Amino acid sequence: MKKYLVSVIVSTYNSEKFIRECLDDLVRQTIFDITEIIVVDAASQQNEQAIVKEYQQRHSNIHYIRTDKRIGIYAAWNIAVKASSGHYITTFSTNDHLSRDAYEILSKALDAHPEVVLVYGDTYLTGIPHESFEKHTRIGSYDWPEYSYGDLLQNCRVGPHPMWRRTVHDDIGYFDEKYAALGDYELWLRLGEKYNLLHIHEFTGLFWMDPASLSLNKEDSSREIAECREKYQRRFLKRLGPGDDDKYDDSPATGKALFKDRVNFIMNSVEADHLLRQYYVATKNEVYIHKRDLPWFFDINFVDLQWLMSCIAGMYDLIKISILEMGNVNAEPLAAIRAFVRALGDNIKTLPADLEKKVNKSGDEAPVLLLKDLLRDLSLTSGQKYEFRRNFLISEFMRQFENFGKCLFEKYHTLKGSEEQFVCSIYKLLAVITGETLGAYYLYSESLGSLTPELERVDNVLGRREGVCNN
């Protein structure tokens, strides 16, 4: 049986229009003679099988596996990994392209660095399918920084065409098939916990920015990104040991106390503006200085500032109208909570134009004055602000509101005489979430070197990292 240096995994489902150029790219690789190609057909409804068999007649190192039913991409990759015989493994999407010497470059890097288990190069980006690595309409590139596990915990920077040692699967297992879009990122994080990865400063691939791609789809990827990062950030922090945890300041104004007991700070803080600035500064300190993960993670990888601010503005208006419509809160806490949640749900379903009319009639009072300052120069349409289906702040607000409601129910038998405190606490909760969100987004943009004047203005309003939050 022939020994192969590299095993290339190709998963296909309804990719007939791409499979031929995919195989052409692989056949032209400079080390094709010591490379095997394993195509896993996930019960495609199209005719990839006939095209692959045509290539098999000319090349004995092309193997074809068809599943009986539709399976996910990571299940398909696992089938191929287990069937492979190469020393190194790499995956290849049917609609991407490679330089002719991509696999030679990556395999030589692994040969030269026995301490490294995975290598990856830089990638050109195109918005047009069916182009080639040598001739394409470039719209950007993934020109990655030097690899570090700390960076990988915050950003998925292992490009779309990595190569790794097959033997690592004997140690850490295979792709987690529960993921739909980010199973490869989860595996890279698992690898990075124990082994070294290496970035190669050469462009080896071309990636088509297909809007329908699983990894580019916000709805498919946001939950998985959050889950992966939270899981591995917590494990990373645990490995640091108790000595690092002792560095945290548990004083009321800073440190982990803010994030451990949000409800307490919401109910006892003087004003929402103070909380907004306090949580913004604390988020930057916690994540940037201490490399501490937050208890939740907002998917900021595909969010620009305009959309982020539209989500914040939409939440602010949604809460304001719902408070006005929930009626008299001079009642038991449970009744008040139910009334607010009911009004919130009804307004989420309201058409943007109708909700805008309600907001315009409600007046211009601003319980969170800093928010009004941040939003004043933005030209946001009702369609942008009130597209609640895409507003990722709603789920976090409701999660925190549930904790707040439990505390309120335990503390008060009636809200009589505490109506204003109840209403203010809702705005304070929004202020906390806004501060954490903007702090995390600032750090993300800073790490990419993409700070904008608009984002710098936000930072000037809320307080720089080294600044002190004043009452």
Q: Cβ distance 119 to 201 under 8 Å?
A: no
Contact 375, 312 (CB under 8 A): yes
CB 30 within 8 A of CB 101: yes
Confidence of residue 293 (pLDDT cuts 50, 70, 90): very low
Q: What is the DSSP letter of 293?
A: P
| Predicted local confidence at residue 284, as pLDDT | 74
The candidate with the shortest Cα–Cα distance to 207, out of 138, 156, 105, 146, is 138
What pLDDT was estimated at residue 17?
Answer: 96
Q: Which whole number is the average pLDDT over 444-464?
A: 77
Walk me through the domains of the chain, giving residue ranges and CATH numbers.
6-233 (3.90.550.10), 241-462 (no CATH)
Q: How far is CA 242 from the centre of its chain?
A: 28
Residue 356 and residue 313: Cα distance in Å, rounded? 12
Q: What pLDDT, on the 0 to 100 scale, is given for residue 305?
A: 82
- Give the residue-averaged pLDDT of 65-87: 97
User: Taking residues 408-434, what's their average pLDDT?
Assistant: 75
DSSP per-residue string spanning 231-283: HHHHHHHHHH-HHHHTTS--STTSSHHHHH-HHHHHHH-S-HHHHHHHHHHHH
Amino acid at 165: R
Torsion angle defined by CA atoms of residues 128, 130, 136 and 138, in that order, rounded to the nearest 10 degrees: 30
Min mean pLDDT across 140-149, 171-180, 285-294, 421-430 is at: 285-294
On average, the pLDDT of the chain sits at: 82
**Rounded distance, CA 11 to CA 41, Å?**
6
Question: How many Cβ atoms are within 10 Å of 176's Cβ, its own excluded?
Answer: 16
Tell me what pLDDT residue 411 has.
65
Q: What is the pLDDT of residues 34-50, one digit of tens each?
A: 999 999 999 999 999 99
Average pLDDT over residues 283-302: 46
Is a pLDDT exceeding 60 seen at residue 277? yes
Most confident of the following: 262-271, 272-281, 363-372:
272-281
The mean-pLDDT minimum among 97-101, 157-161, 274-278, 428-432 falls in: 274-278
More confident residue, 89 or 336: 89
Confidence band for 20, pLDDT divided at 50, 70 and 90: very high
Task: List CB contacts of 124: < 8 A, sequence separation 6 or more.
Answer: 133, 136, 138, 140, 141, 203, 205, 206, 207
Mean pLDDT, residues 405-411 taken together = 71
pLDDT band at residue 71, thresholds of 50, 70 and 90? very high
Least confident of 45-49, 244-248, 448-452: 244-248
Find residue 36's DSSP bridge partners.
Answer: 7
C-beta separation of 386 from 356 below 8 A: yes
pLDDT bin (cut points 50, 70, 90) of residue 286 is: low
Residue 419 has pLDDT above 60, yes or no: yes
Whether 272 shows a pLDDT value over 90: the answer reads no
Please enumerate in sequence order all residues whose Cβ is within 8 A of that of 160, keeping only pairs 6 or more positions apart, or say none: 93, 96, 123, 142, 205, 207
Per-residue pLDDT, 267: 63
Least confident of 172-181, 253-262, 404-413: 253-262
Secondary structure (DSSP) of 397-416: HHHHHHHHHHHHHHH-S--T
Report the Cα 252 to chain-centroid distance in Å.
Answer: 30
Do 7 and 163 form a contact (C-beta atoms < 8 A)? Answer: no
The three-state DSSP-derived secondary structure of 381-392 is CHHHHCCHHHCC
User: Residue 260 — pLDDT band, cuts 50, 70, 90?
Assistant: low
56, 123 contact by CB (below 8 A): no
What pLDDT sits at residue 110? Answer: 98
User: What does the pLDDT average to over 394-405?
Assistant: 81
Cα–Cα distance for residue pair 188/192, rounded to 1 Å: 6
Closest CA to 261 of 249, 248, 270, 252: 252
Q: What's the rounded Cα separation, in Å, for the pair 120 and 296?
A: 29
Separation of alpha carbons 40 and 15, rounded Å: 12
The backbone torsions φ and ψ at residue 370, rounded to the nearest 5 degrees and listed phi first, read -65, -35
pTM (predicted TM-score): 0.58
The residue among 125, 117, 129, 130 whose CA lies nearest residue 144 is: 125
Residues 301-313 have a mean pLDDT of 78
- Does the pLDDT value for residue 247 go beyond 80? no
Cα(258)–Cα(254) distance, integer angstroms? 6
Q: Report pLDDT for 2.
A: 76
Q: How many CB atoms lie within 10 A of CB 324?
A: 15
